Chains A and B, each alone.
Chain A
């Protein structure tokens, strides 16, 4: 099944197909790794909206990548609850280990590092989402192993 037909099938689950734009953009992003212009064209075609409309929606939401991102995504919660415990030290450990600042991607294109707003895991700080999977109670000492694991898993 082509991506467009898969996207259209998501649209059919809703009373109005446009409602499927978030799940459709999510699926397209999973396929491409980010949302290149051709992905927006395919989503638009499947849901009977324009690519520009898809762009206006995608640009509103944090999880959509409108620029090429790394193969892996590391998001460190730096809101107050994690911050009170050790979030800044965890973020800085990733910066050191990866050699990049938050918002940047490593030169080999393998990892993007981001700071994130509250991820809803406040009782087990610091929360780090690695490829959108939560790691709980992360300490700066855990960081080298997390980075190694990501690189091994290619």
Chain B
């Protein structure tokens, strides 16, 4: 598999040295220069470290692509605030199709920790929380073992790193829900402002970054801001991405390449194309929160601006290949069921709207919807987007609406057939969703008179 991940200039950044074998122990990470950048950073002023991040134009890899250095610069300096300053790392990876943070934690846990310590130094934080999704058992153990080893080697300085395990809730990947959860509450988003940089964890200034973003930080120092900024697709999509290639593709995997590669290259050159001679139908690009990509968009460079120009998003680096056996309605239905299950219930447009999306998709799949319903559901999508505290509902609406607009003929053919034209041949036929297994209070068969 290794030959498919190399052959790019320059080589891997985030996964450097860990393509063949993971770098889990301190000695092997040190052997590739590990923790040298921490030492370099601590010899600089914190402001200079932040300035380097700004110059590199490193941007958030969790989905929002916000400039990392600028975000760090929003954190007040300790002389301006009487409270502790916190760094929180978002390792609550749960977006359908996303598995890069898991690979990073398993393969280069020390590079993540080194990034945490450098970022903590830049914002003068003494306490780092890594919020890791509750389902990740092995990943937690690997990361915790690395933390213990790094602490034992005296690398922490005066910083404490706590690895905090979630308990199964996609919404806790939303930054303010994550903070609520970390404070020991139900994971429901807060209204913004105030932004976490001013009032985050325990109402203190808090910087929140994704795992992959933080793991880039040592490499920004190693290469220097100018060199890092020339990687990938400058000026805005600098550096590399660990792409999450999955679905109907011969060689799925986490592949790191510079930004600006095309989905066609990823799927056909690196991924070996579609198995069994199937045709490409669509690509879930960026994640389930964004519009779906059609085959005519395959040559769009995977950089935020080029994708944005055609209404697509880079998201968390998801590239899920969907072949021609797949029913578009079933795909949209399953994604809608995911969001209905994961809506925290706080904002009405999301709580109710995601349920309506499921009901509509089910009616189309069953062939009982009508042509007018297409416009009604697109109207429902409009009434979710931008109307909630967080973007969970927006995500559901954007993704589902994209299937309706880009595959409207297929939706219409369900109505004409009085059901799914694929019958049992779709790869997603009858796919069971967790939202259907929740227990409901049984209704008594006979009510006593």
Q: Which B residue sits closest to A62, measured CB to CB?
A: B168
B430 pairs with A88, CB closer than 8 A? yes
Residues of B within 8 A of A (CB): 84, 93-99, 101-102, 127, 133-138, 162, 164-170, 181-187, 202, 244-248, 252-254, 284, 288, 320-323, 326, 331, 334-335, 338, 341-342, 344, 427-434, 436-439
Residues of A within 8 A of B (CB): 13-16, 18-23, 25-26, 47, 49, 56-57, 60-64, 67, 78-81, 83-85, 87-88, 91, 101-103, 114-125, 129, 132-134
Query: What are 22 inter-chain pairs, A to B, with CB distance below 8 A?
Result: A19-B182, A21-B184, A22-B164, A23-B164, A26-B165, A56-B186, A57-B185, A60-B169, A79-B334, A81-B246, A84-B320, A84-B427, A91-B432, A101-B437, A114-B437, A117-B341, A120-B99, A120-B133, A121-B102, A122-B246, A129-B135, A134-B137
Given A84-B322, A115-B437, A120-B94, verify A57-B428 contact (CB < 8 Å): no
Once bound together, how far apart are the Cα atoms of A13 and B99, in whole Å? 29
Contacts of B101 in A (CB 8 A): 120
Given A26-B167, A79-B338, A84-B427, verify A57-B186 contact (CB < 8 Å): yes
Given A62-B167, A117-B338, verify A78-B433 contact (CB < 8 Å): yes
Contacts of A14 in B (CB 8 A): 162
Centre residue among B253, B342, B428 by max chain A CB count within 10 A:
B428
Contacts of B437 in A (CB 8 A): 101-103, 114-115
Contacts of A87 in B (CB 8 A): 431
A61 pairs with B284, CB closer than 8 A? no
Neighbour of B96 across the interface among A21, A23, A79, A114, CB < 8 A:
A79
A80 pairs with B96, CB closer than 8 A? yes
Minimum Cβ distance to chain B for residue A76 (Å): 9
Given A18-B183, A57-B185, A123-B244, verify A117-B96 contact (CB < 8 Å): yes
Minimum Cβ distance to chain A for residue B244 (Å): 6
A119 pairs with B184, CB closer than 8 A? no
B134 pairs with A124, CB closer than 8 A? no
Contacts of A20 in B (CB 8 A): 184
Given A83-B334, A84-B326, A120-B99, verify A61-B94 contact (CB < 8 Å): no
Known: A80-B428, A102-B437, A123-B253. 4 other contacts (CB 8 A): A19-B184, A88-B432, A117-B342, A120-B102
Minimum Cβ distance to chain A for residue B427 (Å): 5
Centre residue among A49, A78, A84, A85 by max chain B CB count within 10 A:
A84
Q: Which A residue sits closest to B255, measured CB to CB?
A: A123
Minimum Cβ distance to chain A for residue B326 (Å): 7
Contacts of B134 in A (CB 8 A): 22, 26, 61, 63
Minimum Cβ distance to chain B for residue A103 (Å): 3
Contacts of B248 in A (CB 8 A): 84-85
Given A123-B252, A124-B252, verify A83-B187 contact (CB < 8 Å): no
